[in-house]
Amino acid sequence: MSLLQTVDLRRVFSETGEDLEILKGVNFEMETGELVALTGSSGSGKSTFLNLVGMLDTPTSGESFLRGRRFPSSTTPSVTATIVCRWASCSSSITC
């Protein structure tokens, strides 16, 4: 089972009246203990991707999974912290 997985993750911003598609169907999988570097040019969607998998933002479409459990569609910061702590078995350096 993957530690983190995304399936067809999309994020579209429509603040100017025009759709700006930042993430276009990202499929990603990371195993426990795997070291991953997220690289790319400015504006390529790195921060957007991290905000989505960190549950700081909601995707336009697609799904994300943490240890096989689907992320909820929207949460508050305190609920997000509780979910991550319970699902990821927080280390002692994090207060849950």
Is 42 within the bounds of a domain? yes
Q: How many domains does the chain have?
A: 1
pLDDT, position 96: 45
Is 35 within the bounds of a domain? yes
The SS3 of residue 54 is coil
**Mean per-residue pLDDT pooled into runs of 10, the chain (96 residues):** 92 90 96 92 93 87 89 64 61 46
Could you tell me the residue range of the domain that residue 26 belongs to? Answer: 4-88
Is 96 within the bounds of a domain? no
Is 95 within the bounds of a domain? no
Is 93 within the bounds of a domain? no
pLDDT, position 93: 47
CATH number assigned to the domain comprising residue 51: 3.40.50.300
Give the strands of the sheet with 4-13, arranged side by side: 20-30, 4-13, 61-66, 69-70
pLDDT, position 57: 87
Is 60 within the bounds of a domain? yes
Q: How far apart are CA 76 and CA 92, in angstroms?
A: 23
Q: How far apart are CA 5 and CA 14, in angstroms?
A: 26
Please name the residues in contact with 31: beta carbons below 8 A apart, sequence gap of 6 or more. Answer: 2, 3
Judge if pTM exceeds 0.85. no
Is 79 within the bounds of a domain? yes
